[in-house]
């Protein structure tokens, strides 16, 4: 079986956000989170810290924020709802 990847000449539509997640307690957790994000197509940039802040940039033609958040939740890192003032 042959796979062919097509390349679009149009610029990708990039989006970014910082998501707060629970379940990050140590450096090993950061590693598990990284593995979950590496497997998700369309993510161009990700950075996480021990406070559970995950900064993301993604190609909107390949994925959405909700798909990324769902992937993180399946990996044990559910999103923390933003606090309302």
- Answer left, alpha or beta for residue 76, where phi above 0 means left and psi between -120 and 50 means alpha: left
Q: Which tokens belong to 53? A: 């802040």
Distance from C-alpha of 27 to C-alpha of 14, rounded to nearest angstrom: 28
- Considering the chain, what is the average pLDDT of its residues? 86
How confident is the model over 25-50, as pLDDT tens digits? 999 999 999 999 998 899 999 999 99
Distance from C-alpha of 85 to C-alpha of 71, rounded to nearest angstrom: 28
Domains and CATH numbers, the chain: 14-74 (3.30.70.100)
Going by their DSSP bridges, the two strands 14-20 and 53-59 should be labelled as: antiparallel
């Amino acid at each position: 079986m042959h796979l062919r990847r097509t390349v679009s000449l149009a610029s990708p539509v990039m989006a970014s956000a910082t998501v707060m997640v629970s379940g990050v307690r140590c450096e090993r957790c950061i590693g598990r989170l990284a593995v979950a994000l590496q497997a998700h197509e369309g993510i161009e940039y990700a950075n996480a810290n021990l406070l559970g802040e995950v900064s993301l940039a993604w190609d909107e033609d390949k994925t959405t924020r909700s798909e990324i958040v769902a992937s993180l939740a399946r990996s044990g890192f559910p999103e923390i709802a933003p606090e309302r003032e």
